[in-house]
């Protein structure tokens, strides 16, 4: 799971931000 998050942060930062916001609320 950690590797997947690192991958998202590196190559899909926009998508990662959306996911982070969804879980942050």
How many domains, the chain?
A: 1
Domain membership of residue 13 as a residue range: 1-25
Is there a contact between 5 and 16 (Cβ–Cβ < 8 Å)?
Answer: yes
**What's the pLDDT tens digit per position in 1-25?**
789 889 989 999 999 899 889 988 7
pLDDT at 21: 93
φ/ψ of 21, rounded to 5, equals -65, -40
pLDDT of residue 11: 95
**Alpha carbon distance 11, 25 (integer Å):** 24
Q: What is the DSSP string of the chain?
A: -HHHHHHHHHH-HHHHHHHHHHHH-
pLDDT at 13: 93
Residue 24: its pLDDT value, please?
A: 85
């Amino acid at each position: 799971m950690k590797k997947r998050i690192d991958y998202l942060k590196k190559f899909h930062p926009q998508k990662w931000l959306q996911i982070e916001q969804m879980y942050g609320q």
